[in-house]
A and B are shown apart, each in its own frame.
Chain A
Amino acid sequence: MAEIDIRDLGVAYGRLTVLEHLDLTVADGEFVVLLGPSGCGKSTLLNAIAGLQEIDSGQIHIDKQNVTWKEPSARGIAMVFQAYALYPRMTVYKNLSFALRVAGLPRDEIDKRVRRAAEMLQITPYLDRRPHALSGGQRQRVAIGRALVRNVDVFLFDEPLSNLDAQLRVELRVEIKRLHKRLGSTIVYVTHDQIEAMTLADRIAVMNRGVIQQIADTETVYERPANRFVASFVGSPGMNFINGRLLVRDGALAIQSSDQVIMLPNYDASVRSLEEGRPVVLGVRPERLKLANGGANDSHLSAIVDVYESLGGERVIWATVDGQMIAVRAGVEAERPTEGSALSLGFASSSASLFDAASGQRL
C-alpha cells in the first residue's frame, strides 16, 4: 500500500541549507502533521515529497517505489494548497476534471468521479461556477475535491485552512478528519497551527530549522516533549520553565533554583547517570500546576502572584518563581488570589519535564 519513506533527504537553496539528512517514515493510512514555525522547512519537505522541489541528496519512496526522480503526476499523490490554486478560467467542473482529462480518461468515467467527489464535499450546486464566484470555504472544498478525483493513496496538504476564518477552519478540519477515516489514505499535512496538528494527527512531526525535533502522537509531544523547542512551541500558554541546578536527594532528583529546592521524587529520567550541579531547566505545563499540595502532587514550589486573568471558562494566574514568569491554569472555582501574595503550588513530578540547560534536550 502507500507508505512514504524518506531517506537522508537534503535540500538547499543555493548556499542556504533548508533540509539536511532528514529521515521520515509515514505508515500506510497514517495521518502525519508537519508542525513548525514559518521557515522551518516543513513546506519544503512537503514539496519535495510532491516532486515540486528539487532535492540535492537522498531518496523518496512512495508505495515501495523510488520516486526520487519521478514527475509529480507519476508519484501517486494529490496535493491541496493554502491559496486554493484553482484554475481561474475554468468552471468548478473543469477544475475537478482537469487531471483526469490530462490523463485521457473516458468521458463517462470522468463524469462519474467528478460527481462522486462533488457529492462527498457538497459542492454539486456549484459545478458550473467559476472559482471567483465561490466563497473561501467553497473554494477550498473544490481544491480538496480536485485531489479526491485522482483516486490516489497519498494526500499532501499545505496549510489548507490558513486562509479561512476561524469558524470555517473548524468545520473543514472535521471534514478532513472524516475524509481520512472514510478513505483510509496516507496523509501528510503541513501547518503552523498546533490545534489543527493536535486534533488531526496520528503522529505530529515538530520541525525547527530543517530538523524534525520530535515525531510522536499528540499526547507524547505534549506531555513528554523531546526538547525545549517542542515544549515551548506546543501548548498555549506555553510550558513554564524554571532554571536551576540538578540535585540528587535520597536517590531522587531535585532541582535547586536560586531560592528553593523543588523535589521530583517520581521523575522518570530517560538519561541515566546524571551528575549533581548540572544546569537544567524544569518544565511544567500550566494546567499541571495545582493550587493544592499533597496526593498525586508530590512536588511543590512557591511563587508570588503577579497578574490574574479571567478567560470565562478558566482562570490564568501569572506568577513569578525566583523572578521567572510562570502561568497557572486554575478552574473557575478557584479563589482569586491577591496580587503580591505568596502561592503554594503542587504538581505531579511524573508529569514534569527536565531539560539540559545547554543542549535543551530532555533528560
Chain B
Amino acid sequence: MADVDNPAFDVSLVKGDRQWRPLVEGPAGRPPKRLTIGRVALYVILIAAAIFFLIPAYVMIMTSIKPMDEIRAGGMLSLPLSPTIEPWIIAWSSTCSGLVCDGLAPGFFNSIKITVLGVFFAVLAGAVTGYAMSFWKFRGSDAVFAILIFGAFVPYQILIYPLARIYSSIGLYGSLAGLVVVHTMFGLPITTLMFRNFFRTVPPELFKAARVDGAGFIRIFLQIILPMSAPIVIVAVIWTATGIWNDYIMGLVFGGRDSKPMTTILNNIILGEFGERRYNVEMAATFITAMVPLLIYLFSGRWFIRGVTAGSVKG
C-alpha cells in the first residue's frame, strides 16, 4: 500500500508523469557494500578448505606428468621440470594388469558398457516402479514400497555368495548381462525412492485428466509423466552412474574374465607391479579412472542441485 501522506511518495508518477521528485530523507537506493570481519573469516575458511581438498588432486596430476627420476628426487609439491605425457600413454594402453599388458583401455570400455546399461535399466526400472506406486496404487502397495526401500539398507556383502550360486546355476555368472542385472537390482530401491518422492509433487489431477482422456499405463508414463521428470531422471542418472562406475566388488565377483570394469584393472595395475613402482603411471591410471565421475559432476552439478531441490519450489 502506498502511503499517500508520506511526502516522499510521488503522486505525479501515478499519473504517468515521468518527473522524479527528490526523496526527503533517510536511506535510499542500493544498500552500501560492506566488508565485515565475519565475511573475511568466512572466505578464509572456505579457501583453506578448498586448498586442503585440492592438494591430493594437485599432487596426483603433478606426479603423473613427471618422469621417474624427478619423482625419485622428491618434492611432491614442486612443479615438473620436464613435463611428459608418457605415463598417461603407458597407463592407457600398455601397462600390465596381471599377464595382460593392454593398459586401462579395455577396462575403460568395459566400464562404459556396464555403466550405460546398468544406469539405463536401474533408472528405467526405478522410474516405472515409482510411477506405478505413486499413481496406480493397489492394496498393499505401500507395504511393497516399504519392503523395497528396506532393500536399500541391506549390506550387499551378505548377498554376494547366494547371488553367485544362483548366477552360476542359471548361467549368468561371469557375463556382462549378469553384472548389469546385479547393478539394476541394487540400484532399484534408491531410484524407486527418488522417483516416488518426485512424483509426489506431481498433481494427481494430471494423472486423472490423462485417464479421462483415455490414456493407459504405458502411454501416461511415456507421454505425460516421463517428459516432465527430467530433473529427477538427471539426478538418478548421476547417482547410479557414479555408483556403478566406482563399483569394484561386484565387477570383481560377477564380471568374469571379459567384462571386468576399470576399477578392478586399476587395482591389478597398482598391486601387481614388480620391481620399482612407477608412481607416475599409477597416478595417471588412477586419474583416468576417476575422470568420468568427475566430469559428470562438473557438467551436471547444476542439474543435480536443481533435481534434488525439485518440488520444493513451484515450477
Task: State the main secondary structure of chain B at its contact with A.
Answer: helix
CB pair A83–B212 under 8 Å, yes or no, is no
Binds B, one of A30-38, A73-81, A182-190: A73-81
Chain A 77-134 residues near chain B, CB threshold 8 A: 77-79, 81-83, 85-89, 98-99, 102-103
CB pair B209–A89 under 8 Å, yes or no, is no
CB pair B227–A79 under 8 Å, yes or no, is no
CB pair A73–B212 under 8 Å, yes or no, is yes
Report A59-74 CB contacts with B as 1/0, cut-off 8 Å: 0000000000001110
Within the complex, what minimum Cβ distance (angstroms) separates A86 from chain B?
A: 8
CB pair A79–B228 under 8 Å, yes or no, is no
- The answer for the CA separation of A71 and B224 in the assembled complex, in Å, is 19
A146: interface (CB < 8 Å): yes
CB pair A89–B208 under 8 Å, yes or no, is no
Among B203, B212, B227, B228, the residue within 8 A (CB) of A50 is B212
B215: interface (CB < 8 Å): yes
CB pair B206–A85 under 8 Å, yes or no, is yes
CB pair A77–B213 under 8 Å, yes or no, is no
CB pair A82–B212 under 8 Å, yes or no, is no
- The answer for the CA separation of A78 and B213 in the assembled complex, in Å, is 8
- The answer for the CA separation of A158 and B209 in the assembled complex, in Å, is 11
Contacts of B210 in A (CB 8 A): 87, 98
Contacts of B219 in A (CB 8 A): 102
CB pair A52–B206 under 8 Å, yes or no, is no
CB pair A85–B211 under 8 Å, yes or no, is no
Within the complex, what minimum Cβ distance (angstroms) separates A132 from chain B?
A: 9
Contacts of B208 in A (CB 8 A): 47, 50, 52, 72, 79, 81, 85
Contacts of B211 in A (CB 8 A): 51-52, 71-73
- The answer for the CA separation of A87 and B229 in the assembled complex, in Å, is 12
Given contacts A88-B228, A89-B228, A102-B219, A78 and B212 within 8 Å (CB-CB): yes
Interface centre among B212, B215, B224 (most CB of A within 10 A): B212
Within the complex, what minimum Cβ distance (angstroms) separates B87 from chain A?
A: 48
- The answer for the CA separation of A50 and B208 in the assembled complex, in Å, is 9
Report A262-287 CB contacts with B as 1/0, cut-off 8 Å: 00000000000000000000000000
Within the complex, what minimum Cβ distance (angstroms) separates A163 from chain B?
A: 11
B155: interface (CB < 8 Å): no
Chain B 168-208 residues near chain A, CB threshold 8 A: 203, 205-206, 208
- The answer for the CA separation of A244 and B154 in the assembled complex, in Å, is 70
- The answer for the CA separation of A52 and B212 in the assembled complex, in Å, is 8
Count of residues in A whose CB is under 8 Å from the partner chain: 26
Contacts of A82 in B (CB 8 A): 205
Contacts of A98 in B (CB 8 A): 210, 213, 215, 223
- The answer for the CA separation of A85 and B228 in the assembled complex, in Å, is 13
Among A89, A99, A146, the residue within 8 A (CB) of B227 is A89
Closest to A147 in B: B212
Closest to B214 in A: A73
Contacts of A73 in B (CB 8 A): 211-215
Contacts of B213 in A (CB 8 A): 73, 98-99, 102, 146, 150
Closest to A50 in B: B212
Contacts of B214 in A (CB 8 A): 71-73, 99, 102-103
Closest to B213 in A: A99
- The answer for the CA separation of A82 and B206 in the assembled complex, in Å, is 11
Contacts of A89 in B (CB 8 A): 224, 227-228
Closest to A47 in B: B208
Contacts of A78 in B (CB 8 A): 212
CB pair B215–A83 under 8 Å, yes or no, is no
CB pair A102–B212 under 8 Å, yes or no, is no
Contacts of B228 in A (CB 8 A): 88-89
Closest to B226 in A: A89
CB pair A83–B227 under 8 Å, yes or no, is no
Within the complex, what minimum Cβ distance (angstroms) separates B201 from chain A?
A: 12
Report A143-174 CB contacts with B as 1/0, cut-off 8 Å: 10010001000000010000000000000000
Q: Residues on A close to B: CB < 8 A?
A: 47, 50-52, 71-73, 77-79, 81-83, 85-89, 98-99, 102-103, 143, 146, 150, 158
A sample of 18 inter-chain contacts (CB < 8 A) reads A50-B212, A52-B208, A52-B211, A52-B212, A72-B208, A72-B214, A73-B211, A77-B212, A79-B209, A79-B212, A82-B205, A85-B203, A85-B209, A86-B209, A89-B228, A98-B213, A98-B215, A102-B214
Query: Closest 10 A-B residue pairs measured CB to CB?
Result: A73-B214, A99-B213, A89-B227, A85-B205, A85-B209, A81-B205, A102-B214, A72-B212, A85-B206, A79-B212
Q: A73-B211, A82-B205, A87-B206 are in contact. List 18 more A-B contacts (CB 8 A).
A: A52-B212, A71-B214, A72-B214, A73-B213, A73-B214, A73-B215, A79-B208, A81-B209, A83-B205, A85-B205, A88-B206, A88-B227, A89-B228, A99-B212, A99-B213, A103-B214, A143-B209, A158-B205
